[in-house]
C-alpha cells in the first residue's frame, strides 16, 4: 500500500471541516420539502392495490357495456355500498300539468 507524499493529503482539521460542511448540507437538503427522494421500490401491497383497482375498472366497463347492449335502460358506474358495479339511472319525469 503506497503512502501519499507529504503536502498532498488533507490535514485532519481540513478533513473534519469538509465532513462537517457536507453533513450540514445533507441535513439542510433532507429537511426541505421535496429534497429527499425516495429510491425505494413500491411495496407489494401498493402493487396489489393498483392491480385490484385496474381489475375492478375492467369489470365495471364490461358490466356497463353488457347492460347497455342487453337493456333499454341507462346505467352508470359508481361505487356502491352493496358491491354493485353499475347502477341504473331512472329519469325524473315532471308531472303533467293539465
Assess if residue 35 is contained within a domain.
no
Cα-Cα-Cα-Cα dihedral sign, residues 12, 16, 17, 19: positive
27 inside domain: no
Residue 35 to residues 20, 21, 24, 32, 42, Cα–Cα distance (Å): 19, 17, 14, 5, 19
Which of the two residues, 27 and 41, has the higher pLDDT score? 27
Q: What is the mean pLDDT of residues 6-10?
A: 56
Rounded to two decimals, the pTM is 0.41
Work out the mean pLDDT of the chain and round it to a whole number.
77
Digit-coded pLDDT (tens) for 52-94: 888 888 888 888 888 888 888 888 877 777 877 788 888 777 8
Distance CA 26, CA 37 (A): 12
What's the domain count of the chain?
1
Give the separation between CA 82 and CA 98, rounded to whole angstroms.
41
Q: What is the pLDDT of residue 38?
A: 56
**pLDDT of residue 31 exceeding 70:** yes
Pairing of strands 74-77, 86-89: antiparallel
Domain of residue 85: give its range.
Answer: 43-91
For CA atoms 40, 43, 44, 49, the dihedral sign is negative
In this predicted structure, the answer to whether residue 44 has a pLDDT above a threshold of 80 is: no
- pLDDT of residue 37 exceeding 60, the answer is no
7 in any annotated domain: no
Amino acid at each position: 500500500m503506497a503512502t501519499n507524499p507529504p503536502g498532498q493529503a488533507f490535514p485532519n482539521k481540513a478533513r473534519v471541516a469538509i465532513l462537517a460542511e457536507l453533513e450540514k448540507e445533507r441535513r439542510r437538503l433532507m429537511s426541505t420539502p421535496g429534497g429527499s427522494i425516495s429510491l425505494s421500490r413500491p411495496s407489494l401491497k401498493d402493487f396489489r392495490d393498483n392491480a385490484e383497482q385496474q381489475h375492478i375498472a375492467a369489470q365495471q366497463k364490461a358490466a356497463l357495456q353488457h347492460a347497455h347492449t342487453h337493456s333499454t335502460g341507462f346505467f352508470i358506474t359508481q361505487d356502491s355500498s352493496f358491491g354493485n358495479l353499475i347502477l341504473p339511472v331512472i329519469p325524473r319525469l315532471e308531472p303533467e300539468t293539465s
